[in-house]
Structure 1
Amino acid sequence: MTEDGQSSVPEPTVRNRTVEAGIIAAWNLIWRADGKIMPKTWTALSLWSDMWTSGMNLTAAGLKFGEMMGASAHVFGSRCGSIAEVARNPLEGDYAELGRMVPEKVDAFSRAGRSALADLYAIHTGAIANWMQLGTIMAAGRLPTSAEAARMTGRSSRLGSRAAASAGKALAPVHRRATANAKRLRRKKRA
């Protein structure tokens, strides 16, 4: 307060209000209403990081796919031999091994399908959220605010990352089963 009773704090100007609104908008990108930090805030660096992670996830899925195909070739060869032995001598066949083939495939592919469907649902939900937000903005006849644009861009980036990671997650149960079978059949052959 000054001696004449006036406030010493300057009146907010248009420029100060704009800066203040920008700071509040940036703060709202970082903090949720309940005071907790958002799990992931979009920045240019996080977009680059999401793209890098997506590439690494796809590379890892490709490597696992190659490993699975090699293991599958070994399992296929071993089981074809078991089927041929059963055809030649039905009383001496390895029916325990032959009985594993269908149930383990049903289990592995069911798990893979469940994983793929969960990711598809999450991706679809995120895409619909983006479309709804964009539709609201278009219906208002305005451009998106920086906060809205950042939210949609961040969501899109996470959707891309999730789509890239879903390949490896869906492949995991089939890969795990195929490589485990190959190891087991190699040990069995040596014994």
Structure 2
Amino acid sequence: MFWNAWKLGSSLWANGLALQETAMAAAGVIGHRSQLIDSAMRDPLSADVAELGRMVPEKVEAFGKAGSAIAEDWLDIHRDLLAQSRDFATLFAAWPPSPATIARMNQRGGKLLVKMSTAGGRAIDPIHATATGNHRRLQRSTGRTR
């Protein structure tokens, strides 16, 4: 049980860090691209068409990968939730529950928490990679270090 709690805490920490990094990178990317859009509207012939053309396809790809990851993980989580509910229903049929049933439910419950957290992390990963990658690339292109 302790191992599951440690894995859960580590996963939640990593997810929170990834969300924070994603939000900070997104703010930088939005700021840079807003300026690009503004300059493109003022002078369309000298617009950075390559950068403007990346905006939608990269989001579609990142969110598509995130959706696929969460769908794959959700099937596994759902299977465990059904098994957990089946064991929970047997508690009412045979009271007191056997130590094996309690141990199985306890172990599966801990694993479910970890699976749910890591599923969220796997869904965040492609979005995080795209946002932070764009931020680094745009910083290099403008010569900024921050």
Structure 1 residue runs without a partner (length 5+): 1-46
2:23 pairs with one of 53, 69, 75: 69
Residue of structure 1 equivalent to 2:62: 108
The CA RMSD measured in Å over matched residues stands at 1.7
Structure 1 CA distance for aligned equivalents of residues 33 and 91 of structure 2: 59
Residue of structure 1 equivalent to 2:6: 52
Residue of structure 2 equivalent to 1:169: 122
Counterpart mapping for 1:123-142 below 5 A: 123-139=77-93, 141-142=94-95
Residue of structure 2 equivalent to 1:92: 46
TM-score (norm 2): 0.90
Instruction: Give SS of 1:144's match.
Output: coil
Instruction: Give SS of 2:108's match.
Output: helix
Structure 1 CA distance for aligned equivalents of residues 22 and 16 of structure 2: 10
**How far off is 1:117 after superposition?**
2.1
Identity %: 38
Check whether the contact 1:108–1:177 (CA below 8 A) recurs between aligned residues. Answer: yes
1:129-152, Cα deviation, whole Å (9 max, x unpaired): 11123334533x343222222112
Instruction: Give SS of 2:97's match.
Output: coil
Q: Work out whether 1:80 is the aligned partner of 2:49.
A: no
Q: Work out whether 1:156 is the aligned partner of 2:120.
A: no
Structure 1 CA distance for aligned equivalents of residues 36 and 56 of structure 2: 15
Q: Which structure has the larger Rg over C-alpha atoms? A: 1
Q: Work out whether 1:143 is the aligned partner of 2:111.
A: no
**One-letter amino acid of the counterpart of residue 172, structure 1:** D
TM-score (norm 1): 0.70
1:29-80, Cα deviation, whole Å (9 max, x unpaired): xxxxxxxxxxxxxxxxxx1221121111111111111111111111111111
2:131 pairs with one of 170, 178, 185: 178
Structure 1 CA distance for aligned equivalents of residues 104 and 39 of structure 2: 62
**One-letter amino acid of the counterpart of residue 156, structure 1:** G
Looking at secondary structure, tell me which structure has more helix per residue.
Answer: 2
Structure 2 CA distance for aligned equivalents of residues 137 and 63 of structure 1: 39
